[in-house]
Amino acid sequence: SATRERNGLRRTLVVTQVALSLVLLVAALLFSRSLQKLLGINLGFDSRDVLVATVTPTGSNFDNAEKRKALSRELEERIHSIGEVTSSAPTAFAPFSGYGWNGPVHADNDPARTGGKNSWFNRAGPGYFATMGTPLLAGRDFNAHEDVGAPKVALVNQSFAKQFFAGKNPVGRSFRIEELAGKPDSVYEIVGLVGNTTYNDLKEPEPSIAFFPTAQDDQPGTDSTFVIRGRASLESLETAIQHEVT
C-alpha cells in the first residue's frame, strides 16, 4: 500500500547501503592484504625477547661528554652482568626509533670529492648484531679496543656492499663520508659485512647502512641506548635494568 515516492526512496536507500557495504568490504580486503604483506617483510633481525632501554642523565654530574661516556660504559657493564640477560650492546638508536643519520659516501676507488651516493648510518657496540640476531656474513664484529684513539672502522650491510663495491666482499676496503666545508672527509676501514636490515621504514627496500663503533663517537649525545636480549620476561628485565640504573 506504499506510495510510489516511498517505494522509490526505499530502493535508493537499499542501493546506497549495498554500495557502501561493497566499498567497506573492498577497503577491508585491501587493508588485510597490506597488513599481511608488511608482516611478511624480513626485518633482518629478531625483535622477539629484545628490550630497548634509553637512559637520559641530567644534572651537573653529566655536563660533559667524558662523564656521559663513563656512565654509558658503567651501565653497559651492569646490564651485561644481570643474570637474566643473555646478550646486550649499546647503539646510537634502535630500529624504528624515529631517529636517523645519513650522508654522501665514496668508495676508496672513487676520486670525486663531491656528489657521493647516499647511505644510512648508525653506531653500535660489540655484540649488537648477535643481540639483534643479524648475521655476520664476513669479517668480524667490533671489539672493546676500538675507541676514539684507534683507527676508524665500520661494518656495512649487503646493500652497502652492492651500492659501493659491486656486491663483492668489502672487508679490507675503505670508504669516506663527505663532511661539511672546511672539515676533512672521514675515512673508515671495513672490518665486517652483515645481513640487510630495515632502518626506520618497513616499506623501504633493503636500505644501505654503515655501522660505526659507539666508543669512537667523539661527540656523544645525552642519551645512552641499549638493546638487551634475555631469558626472562621483558617485564622482569625492565625491573632489573631500572634497578641498575637507579
Q: Does residue 2 or residue 192 have the better pLDDT? A: 192
Above 60 in pLDDT, residue 34?
no
Q: Does residue 12 or residue 206 have the better pLDDT? A: 206
Angle of the 234-245 helix axis to the 65-81 helix axis, nearest 10: 140
CA proximity to 91, closest of 239, 235, 171, 209:
209
User: Could you tell me how far CA 244 lies from the centroid of its own chain?
Assistant: 25
Q: Does residue 5 or residue 58 have the better pLDDT? A: 58
Query: For 209, phi and psi rounded to 5 degrees?
Result: -135, 135
Question: Mean pLDDT throughout 160-183?
Answer: 94
Distance CA 3, CA 243 (A): 77
pLDDT of the residue at 36: 58
pTM of the model: 0.81
Distance CA 137, CA 92 (A): 22
Above 80 in pLDDT, residue 38?
no
pLDDT of the residue at 180: 84
Above 70 in pLDDT, residue 230?
yes
Above 70 in pLDDT, residue 1?
no
pLDDT of the residue at 16: 83
> What band does 19 get if pLDDT is binned at 50, 70 and 90?
confident
Distance CA 107, CA 212 (A): 16
Which range, 27-31, 139-143, 146-150, 177-181, is most confident?
139-143
List of residues 6+ apart from 156 with CB closer than 8 A:
170, 190, 192, 193, 194, 208, 209, 210, 211
Query: How high does pLDDT run on average in the chain?
Result: 89
Above 60 in pLDDT, residue 56?
yes
